[in-house]
Amino acid sequence: MVYGENVFIAEHAWLSFPRPGSRLTIGDNSQIGRFFGVSCASNITIGHSCLIGERVFIADVGHSYEDPSVPILISGLTEAKPVHIGDDVLIGVGSFIGPGVTIGNHVMIGANSVVVKDVPSYSVIAGNPARIIKFYDFTSEKWMTVP
C-alpha cells in the first residue's frame, strides 16, 4: 500500500491483498470513510483529492463460480483486472466499484451505485448498474442532464 500526503482513512477499514505483489495507491489529500473495504489482488489506484463515503467497496477481483461441482467458497478468485480512480472523485455511501473499471477526473458517484463500466471525466453517475445522469459540456460551460 502506498499513500500520499494528508490521506485520511476512517476507522474499521478492511484491506485485503489476496495475491503477492498487489498494490493499492491512494493520492494526496484523499479521504476515505468508515467501513471502507478493498480487495486488491493486482492494482487499485485512487487519485488525488478523492472523497470516498462510508461502506464503499472496491475490488479488482471476484470469486470464481463456473465449475458447479466446486463450492464457490473454495473455487478461488477470478483474474484480477486493475481499477483506476482519477483525481477529484466523490464516491457516495454504500457504492461498489468493480474489477477493470476506470473512473475519470471530477466525477460524482451517487450513493449505493454499482459501477461495473468505465466512467468518463466530468460526469455524474448513479444507480445499479450505474449510468451517466449528467455531464459537463465544455462548449456551453454547463452541466447537461442525460434524458
Catalogue the active-site residues.
63
- Pseudo-torsion of CA 50, 55, 57, 63, nearest 10°? 180
Write out the three cell numbers for 146.
Answer: 442525460
- Pseudo-torsion of CA 6, 116, 64, 71, nearest 10°? 100
CB 80 within 8 A of CB 64: no
CA gap 108, 73 in Å, rounded: 34
